[in-house]
Amino acid sequence: MPTPLTHDDPVALGPYRLIARLGSGGMGTVYVARSAGGRTVALKTMHAGIAADPAARVRFRLEVDAARVIGDRFGARVMDADPLAETPWLATEYVLGPALDEAVEAGGPLPEQSVRALGAGLCSALGQLHRSDVVHRDLKPSNILVTAYGPKVIDFGIARAIGDDRLTRAGAAVGTPAFMSPEQATGQEHDAAGDVFALAGVLVYAATGHGPFGSGQAADLLYRVRYAEADLGGVPAALVPLLARCLAKEPGERPTTAQLASRLHDGVGEFADHLPDWLLADIARRAADVWRVVPQRLPAPAVEAGPSEVTAPPARRGRSRRGFLAGAGAVAVTAAVGGGIWSYRRRDTTPPAKEPRQTRNIAPLWQYGGRGSLEMDWWGLIRPYRANGSIWLPMNATVKRLDPSDGRSRQLLFEGNWWQAAAVNDRLYLLGQDFDGQGRSMAIVTWDEEQSYARRTSTRLADAAYVIKPNQLLCISDDVVYVAAGYGKEAEDYGFLPSQTWTLRAADLKTGKTLWTKPLPKRPARSHRLHFLAAKVVGGRLVTLQEVADKKVHLVVRDTGSGSVLWDTPYDVEDIDSLRSEIAADGSRVYVGGDRLRALRLSDGSQVWATESGRRYSPPTLKKGVLYTVGKGVGLTAVDPERGTRLWTEATTEAEEAYTGWQPVIGNRYAYYKNGFQLRAVSLTAHDIALTYQTDAVQFHADTRSGLVLGVDDDFLSAYPLT
């Protein structure tokens, strides 16, 4: 796990700022580091003394080459490297998973299915190397990282081309004794068969917690590797014959990686499906923890100040001149030492110099929640609402009220669901029970701040059953509320029933009258997909993203006066829940993302403009006459909404992980969107990355009154400054 930097570790190497240490050995040190754009990497360096050896530098360059050969599927992706620097360094992706030895030490031996899947993955990794005529030569548990997507092989410090012995002294054994092949133990040629031998040793360790030749002194291990039979005690019986063949003393008797892979695993299922729960939990924890690493540096060791006390000789009556001078000298020495002690203490007690403002990997202002607390069963992540000076979280049995300044819960109030709420003019409205309707009607309720209770308005919806869970409050505009209401029997699983009748209605909040009612399609039993993902009133039109069937979305625009459908067009996106973002529309056009960024006429749905296909775009955000979207591989982009021309694109080379599953949040100075595990704040004037924040959130909402970006994931509501 990461540890603080030492006082003499460099501040940065290349474009990467060092954050923490991952480990240090005889060859060099590995750091956690971050780029200016917030990308976290593992940065490996070589000790200065070793870097002075030209042969060591050649090895380092070969390690970089080998890491590039194996690629990011089976290894850690190489982000950058400088083997010629004064301190040679290699930056790779930060792999989110433990080393195999750490995993086994923490949780014990892996079950057989995990060992088989692990072995098959490692066969593929080694096969990639061997096809490029490269052998690893140091495969061992600490050089294998276990991720949810498969094992990754790292540390190619002694890898080399097959048949190339220019950097190996004749007769020298190079590698780790416990996992060496017999030929490697005698300093002979180590080819692909030698890697297979080491792989078998790794699998024995994974299955039992110990290597096939035990432990002890290097000389003892090398002897056992060459002459003793492997200890396969504890290995699952079905694996013993296969691993014994891999551990044959003669290289020609061992299977190839392809043959071994076919015997280990049939390739069915995802790698994560074969891992034990405790290991998956550890992987998830590490994935979250890495973004919470805060830069720390240990202070330099205190310099000893010398003798702490100097004593003058006893005073005598009638001192001689010599005695006076000696005494004066003693006083002077004491004063000097005393001054030194005072100065040292002064440095300790004086407040440290103000550190530069942190601009990367900043922690949230506050978080509220707990494990799984914000995932509302089948209905998706909760949506926060800003009203009455608070942040409201409708969470079914209760509606929780949070203080925007610190996230503390003020009260636990009445019941309500996030899809049955709306906030307008700093007031909270919800669908509520009409106690006079005998279960045949619903009411619109609002929070009365003076009386501290949910007060019913005059608006009641007849032939609507409050107990039906998927009832929706779509939006409120100009004192008109739009509701999807169900009538009939409540489903046992709280979802839909084919016997239920569904309607879309508009009702006047002032008069309480229903203005119009339109039928909605029926839903099959056991469906838990709401009728609408989002809705907005603009230009006399009710613009909706409607699931006309499960996972089938249409953009449906209705006349607000009559409820009649003016136009209806399919809307195909990869992530349907991304459409819960606020709809981007003005009095003339509706703007949508997906495989292209498009503008459709509000009047008839005809296309005004569209970008070229081939790039995925997030749902867009319209702010002050500019359309903002996140493009896969390019990051934040600003577009002229009238013509569809690009105004500017974020200045970054790190947009591979740009998140298109939610619209960007736009402030006055910055635009916010998720990239990897960071929330980026991009300057609206300089167009570069101004700030990055730690985040696990996947949906983001603007609370302009509180000046907050509210990020939501399964576990937490996280608050960030909205500037």
Cα angle for residues 680, 614, 696 (degrees, 5° grid): 25
Give DSSP secondary structure letters for 321-345: HHHHHHHHHHHHHHHHHHHHHHHHH
Contact between residue 33 and residue 18 where contact means Cβ atoms under 8 Å apart: yes
Judge contact between 634 and 651, C-beta under 8 A: no
Q: Is 138 a catalytic residue?
A: yes
Convert 22-68 into a string of H (helix), E (strand) and C (coil): EEECCCCEEEEEECCCCCEEEEEECCHHHHCCHHHHHHHHHHHHHHH
CA atoms of 617 and 630, how far apart (whole Å): 6
- Tell me which amino acid residue 402 is: L
Nearest CA to 574 out of 466, 661, 674 is that of 661
* 298 contacts 4 by C-beta, under 8 angstroms: yes
Sheet holding 584-585, edge to edge: 584-585, 589-592, 598-601, 607-610
Catalytic residue among 138, 155, 434, 696: 138
3-state secondary structure of 427: strand
3 state DSSP class of 430: strand
Residues in the chain: 723
State how far the Cα of 597 lies from the Cα of 392, in Å rounded to an integer. Answer: 33
d(Cα 60, Cα 65) in Å, to the nearest integer? 9
H or E stretch covering 122: helix 112-131
CB 341 within 8 A of CB 308: yes
Q: Which run of H or of E encompasses 346? A: helix 321-349
Cα distances (angstroms) measured from residue 363 to each of 84, 236, 459, 466, 705: 36, 46, 44, 41, 21
Residues 6+ apart with CB under 8 A from 717: 367, 368, 369, 374, 382, 384, 391, 393, 402, 407, 710, 711
CA angle (470 as vertex; 464, 475 as ends), nearest 5: 80
Residue of 483, 484, 524, 494 whose CA lies nearest to 397: 494
Count the Cβ atoms, other than its own, within 10 Å of residue 676: 19
Alpha-carbon Rg of the chain, whole angstroms? Answer: 33
Measured distance CA(203)–CA(100) in Å, rounded:
10
Kindly report the number of other CB atoms within 10 A of residue 164's CB atom.
12
Q: Which helix (H) or strand (E) holds 243?
A: helix 240-246
Bridge partners of residue 399, in order along the sequence:
394
318 contact partners, CB below 8 Å, separation of at least 6: none
Q: How far apart are CA 406 and CA 391, in angstroms?
A: 11
d(CA 320, CA 206): 84
Cite the active site residues. 138
